[in-house]
C-alpha cells in the first residue's frame, strides 16, 4: 500500500539532529506529521524538536544510541506512551563513517559502524515493524543506505559493508511486506552537505579504538555532481514514499557506474558452459 499523505501520522526519524535526518523531520512536520526526533545526543535532539514545536508541530525529542537494542526498546516505550495510535512512518536514517581501511580498522571500528548503520536499521525494524503490520494502517519504512551500498570504493570498506546489508535487507523486506499495508523505500544518497565526516564526535566511549593510527584517506572521487542540500534529499525521499517507489538515488552520475558494475558481474557468467541441450523426451 502507499501512503496518501503524512497529515495525522506519527513519524520516527533517527539521526534526526543533523543533515538528512533533520531535513526529514522538518519536512514531515510541515506535512502534518507528529515527529519523534531521535539522536544519540539528547541536547541535539531537543534543539530540533524545539524548532518543530516553534513551527506549530507536535514533536518529541528522544536520546537513543540505535546500535543498542536496549536503547531502541526504551525508545519504543517512550513512543508508545507519546503516540498511542502507533507509528506510521519509520525513517531509519542514523549513520556514521570513519576513515578506516580493513587493514587498519580495529574491532571497535567495525562494531561501531555496523552497529549504527546496519544494526540501527535492524533494531528499528524489530521495534516498530510488528506494530505497523498489526495496525492494519497504511505505513511506510524509509531506510537510508548509500550509493556505497551498490558502488564501493577502496576507502569505504566498513561503510559499504553496512550499507550493502541495508540494501539487501530493504529489498527483501519490501517483498516480504508486499501483501501488507507497510511499504518500504530505500534512500541512496550520493554527495550531500552533511557533517558525517565529524561522526567520530558521537562515538560511544565503550567503542573507543583499542589503538591509535593515522587516519586513512576518507573519501574517493567518483566525479560526483555537486553535493545536494539535505532538504533536497528529504524532498526526493518523501516524494518517493508517497509514490510507493522502491529506491531513491540523488545523482545521475551514478547510472554509468552502476552499469559498469553490473556489466562486470554479468561477465562472470561468460566462463560457464551454455545451457544443456534438452534430453530426448520420454516415450
Q: What is the tally of helices (H) and strands (E) in the chain? A: 8, 7
Does the annotation count 159 as an active-site position?
yes
* Cell 555496523, residue located: 114
Cell of 108: 571497535
CA distances from 67 to 1, 57, 70, 119, 204 (A): 29, 28, 9, 6, 10
Q: Rounded distance, CA 176 to CA 1, Å? A: 13
Helices (H), 31-177: 42-54, 69-82, 107-114, 120-135, 157-176
Contact residues for 123 (Cβ-Cβ < 8 A; gap 6+): 66, 67, 68, 69, 72
- The three grid cell numbers given for residue 71, joined into one nine-digit string: 536503547
Pick the catalytic residue from 150, 159, 164, 222. Answer: 159
Catalytic (active-site) positions: 159
Amino acid at each position: 500500500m502507499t501512503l496518501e499523505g503524512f497529515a495525522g501520522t506519527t513519524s520516527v526519524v533517527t539521526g534526526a539532529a543533523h543533515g538528512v535526518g533533520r531535513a526529514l523531520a522538518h519536512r514531515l512536520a510541515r506535512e502534518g506529521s507528529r515527529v519523534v526526533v531521535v539522536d544519540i545526543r539528547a541536547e541535539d535532539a531537543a534543539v530540533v524538536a524545539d524548532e518543530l514545536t516553534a513551527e506549530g508541530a507536535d514533536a518529541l525529542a528522544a536520546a537513543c544510541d540505535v546500535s543498542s537494542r536496549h536503547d531502541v526498546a526504551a525508545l519504543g516505550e517512550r513512543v508508545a506512551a507519546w503516540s498511542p495510535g502507533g507509528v506510521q512512518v519509520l525513517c531509519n536514517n542514523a549513520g556514521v563513517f570513519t576513515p578506516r581501511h580493513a587493514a587498519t580498522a580495529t574491532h571497535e571500528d567495525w562494531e561501531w559502524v555496523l552497529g549504527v548503520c546496519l544494526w540501527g536499521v535492524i533494531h528499528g525494524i524489530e521495534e516498530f515493524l510488528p506494530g505497523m503490520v498489526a495496525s492494519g494502517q497504511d505505513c511506510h519504512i524509509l531506510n537510508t543506505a548509500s550509493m556505497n551500498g551498490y558502488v564501493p570504493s577502496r576507502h569505504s570498506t566498513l561503510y559499504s559493508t553496512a550499507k550493502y546489508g541495508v540494501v539487501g535487507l530493504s529489498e527483501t523486506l519490501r517483498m516480504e511486506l508486499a501483501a501488507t499495508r507497510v511499504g518500504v523505500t530505500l534512500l541512496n544518497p550520493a554527495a550531500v552537505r552533511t557533517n558525517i565526516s565529524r561522526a567520530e564526535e558521537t562515538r560511544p566511549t565503550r567503542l573507543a579504538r583499542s589503538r591509535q593510527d593515522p587516519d586513512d584517506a576518507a573519501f574517493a572521487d567518483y566525479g560526483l555532481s555537486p553535493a545536494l542540500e539535505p532538504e533536497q534529499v528529504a524532498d526526493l525521499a518523501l516524494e518517493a514514499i508517497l509514490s510507493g517507489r522502491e529506491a531513491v538515488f540523488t545523482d545521475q552520475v551514478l547510472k554509468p557506474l552502476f552499469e559498469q558494475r553490473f556489466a562486470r558481474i554479468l561477465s562472470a557468467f561468460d566462463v560457464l558452459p551454455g545451457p544443456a541441450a534438452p534430453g530426448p523426451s520420454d516415450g
